[in-house]
Structure 1
Amino acid sequence: MTRFVERHAGALQLVFVVGVVGIALLMSISLRPESGGRSSAAAVNDTVVSVVTPVATPYRPVVQLNGVVQARTITRIIPQVSGRIVAVSSSFRPGASILKGDALFTIDPADYRLAVERTLAEIEAARSELTRLEAEAAAEREIWQGQFPDRQIPDLIARVPQIAAVKARIRSGEAAREAAELALGRTTVRAPFNARILESELDVGQVVSTGVAVGTMFSIESLEIAVPVSSEERRLIGPLDGQSVAVYLPSSMDGVLPGTLVRASAALDERTRLGTLFVAADNPGRLMLGEFVRVEIAGKDTPDSYRLPAAALTSRDRLWVVENGRLSARTVEVLGREAEMAVVRVFDDGDGVVSIPPANAVEGLAVTARGPDGLAAIDSSGSRPE
């Protein structure tokens, strides 16, 4: 037996090797998955994501902003004449409204009436003197012509300089009269426009001085709404001049005021880096200086846009799509938001937009996509199930 093994050792080794190789081949064939099951096994190991297929629709954003009511100018009430206050309007009180031309207060006009009378008397005296001088000049000319018919009468004898001086006095008197009448008219201070009173420091008996403020007010027509706005919001709004605006007052009972976008600031605020839009309300009388209001401005139309779940955005302008069974990042332009939806400009959405990105999302990650109905939409093999 030993001799037989020694004689056929090489052949036995060859048979053993062939047997081992054959067994290995049989095992590999038996363990190989069928072609139809290979993609299923891969899909089981893939990350499952939910995708949506967006539809392009037109979009016109409504930009909601907050603003504050302000007056273009605050007017200080400064009397142009001095004197004792003899009357104060009941409307010349903080918070009151007053119409253009209404009297605010009256300064004692007695001294100013006397000034007018004095100038009138001076004018009458000058005119009387002028009449006398003109009569004397006529008499002197007649005498001169009788004595010296071939010579011109001198100006001094003809009262020329005296008459000129009196005429100048009359003109000066007329100017003084107008100034006195103007001062008399200024003893009654009237509202230059429809206004609201902010401050009043007057009462009957007080003495006021020229150039000293006694109150402040603002024009109702000058009320406007200053609305801070970012560069992105300005881009959404589009052209600014003449844009219609809806102004929502703090109290719901006050309703909505229509308004118009009248202008924009020429520079950004140095601290906030925001611009300012100015809105004129159609009925400024319903506004209150300093109150905060909400403003809605319809932006420019965008013909093609996608409405996507807001959760699809992983950052301000980034989301994931499925492309050939793998994740692919997209940077999008966000146009606005509607409730829980984000509105973005149309982009290449691949095989669908991932509505809720997985925590392990990376570029090229193999995924199995499922639609809103929960059925598989596409897997990492790149095929869509029937």
Structure 2
Amino acid sequence: MPFAGKVTETTAEVGQMLTRNQPFGQAFAFDALEAVTPVAQDELARLEPVVGRGATVRAPGVELEATVERVSAELDARTRFAKLYLALPQDAGIAPGTFVDVTVEGPLVEDTFVLPEATEQAGGHVWRVVDSRLQRQDLSVLGRSSEGLVVRAFDPGEGVVIGAAPGGREGLSVRVAGPGGTGTRAST
């Protein structure tokens, strides 16, 4: 091979005569190894500019740093997702075709909260407690992460209700059940 790489498939046998332009195997160059991951349009918009961003790539037994090298020119016709192509180091230790988990570093966004997913009520709002009463707080959701909802900061009052609050309504009298506003229960 005229490059440093690895043979992944071959149909040639030892001693077999090969002719020019006859395919007899498949190989990949170590310096051409990349990871490809889909990304939703709204996530892509939040990551802009995405090219050059750092990322972490995880495969069984391997975790390494990578860089977003380019973005697909068009969206996938079926999923409407774009594709991110990440350059991997030559010594990545990942074979082509391996499924990987990718985390791309996003921009630092100030004046935000990360709320547990369970705080979001049907309709895309949260209940906060102000003067021992429920008050609806509409959310400006900036994104979602493994830790929860990333939302624009707001005054949390005495706390935010975690979990569904069926029958919850503006002004309903509540009592904070845990220290530091870790939960609420409606009064009876």
- TM-score, normalised relative to structure 2: 0.77
- Tell me, yes or no, if the aligned pair for 1:322 and 1:350 is still in contact at 8 Å: yes
Q: Which has the higher strand share?
A: 2
Q: Quote the residue 1:355 is aligned against.
A: 162
Distance 2:168 2:70 in 1: 46
Q: Quote the residue 2:11 is aligned against.
A: 201
Q: Quote the residue 2:75 is aligned against.
A: 268
RMSD over aligned Cα, in angstroms? 3.1
- Tell me, yes or no, if the aligned pair for 1:319 and 1:330 is still in contact at 8 Å: yes
SS at match of 1:287: coil
Distance 2:117 2:28 in 1: 46
> Of 25, 35, 60, which aligns to 1:215?
25
> Of 136, 140, 143, which aligns to 1:332?
140
Q: Quote the residue 1:369 is aligned against.
A: 174
SS at match of 1:221: helix
Q: 1:315 to 1:239 in 2, by over 3 A?
A: farther
CA shift at 1:338, angstroms?
A: 5.1
- Tell me, yes or no, if the aligned pair for 1:247 and 1:294 is still in contact at 8 Å: yes
Distance 1:219 1:261 in 2: 19
Distance 1:374 1:257 in 2: 38
> Of 61, 80, 87, which aligns to 1:280?
87
Q: Quote the residue 1:6 is aligned against.
A: none
> Of 284, 290, 297, which aligns to 2:104?
297
Q: Quote the residue 2:49 is aligned against.
A: 239
Q: Give me the identity figure in percent.
A: 28
- Tell me, yes or no, if the aligned pair for 2:64 and 2:92 is still in contact at 8 Å: no
Distance 2:94 2:69 in 1: 17
Q: Quote the residue 2:149 is aligned against.
A: 342
SS at match of 2:44: helix
Q: Quote the residue 2:118 is aligned against.
A: 311
CA shift at 1:290, angstroms?
A: 0.6
Q: 1:200 to 1:370 in 2, by over 3 A?
A: same
Q: 1:361 to 1:334 in 2, by over 3 A?
A: farther
SS at match of 2:50: coil
Distance 2:28 2:19 in 1: 22
CA shift at 1:220, angstroms?
A: 1.6
What does the per-residue CA deviation read over 1:267-304, in whole Å, with 9 as the maximum and x for residues that have no partner? 11111111111111123451211111222222111111
Distance 1:199 1:257 in 2: 26
Distance 2:172 2:59 in 1: 51
Q: Counterparts of 1:1-386 in structure 2 under 5 Å?
A: 191-203=1-13, 206-251=16-61, 254=62, 256-315=63-122, 317-322=124-129, 325=133, 327-337=135-145, 339=147, 341-347=148-154, 349=156, 352-362=159-169, 364=170, 366-371=171-176, 372-373=178-179
Q: Which has the higher helix share?
A: 1
Distance 2:64 2:166 in 1: 47
Q: Quote the residue 1:175 is aligned against.
A: none
- Tell me, yes or no, if the aligned pair for 1:326 and 1:367 is still in contact at 8 Å: yes
What does the per-residue CA deviation read over 1:35-82, in whole Å, with 9 as the maximum and x for residues that have no partner? xxxxxxxxxxxxxxxxxxxxxxxxxxxxxxxxxxxxxxxxxxxxxxxx
Distance 1:298 1:357 in 2: 31
Q: 1:213 to 1:232 in 2, by over 3 A?
A: same
- Tell me, yes or no, if the aligned pair for 1:224 and 1:284 is still in contact at 8 Å: no
- TM-score, normalised relative to structure 1: 0.41
- Tell me, yes or no, if the aligned pair for 1:257 and 1:283 is still in contact at 8 Å: no
SS at match of 1:277: strand
Unaligned runs of 5+ in 1: 1-190, 378-386
What does the per-residue CA deviation read over 1:183-226, in whole Å, with 9 as the maximum and x for residues that have no partner? xxxxxxxx121121133233455444333222222212111000
Q: 1:240 to 1:305 in 2, by over 3 A?
A: same
The letter of the residue matching 1:263 is R
Higher RCO (C-alpha under 8 Å, 6+ residues apart): 1
> Which of structures 1 and 2 has the bigger CA Rg?
1
Q: 1:316 to 1:245 in 2, by over 3 A?
A: farther
Distance 1:221 1:316 in 2: 48
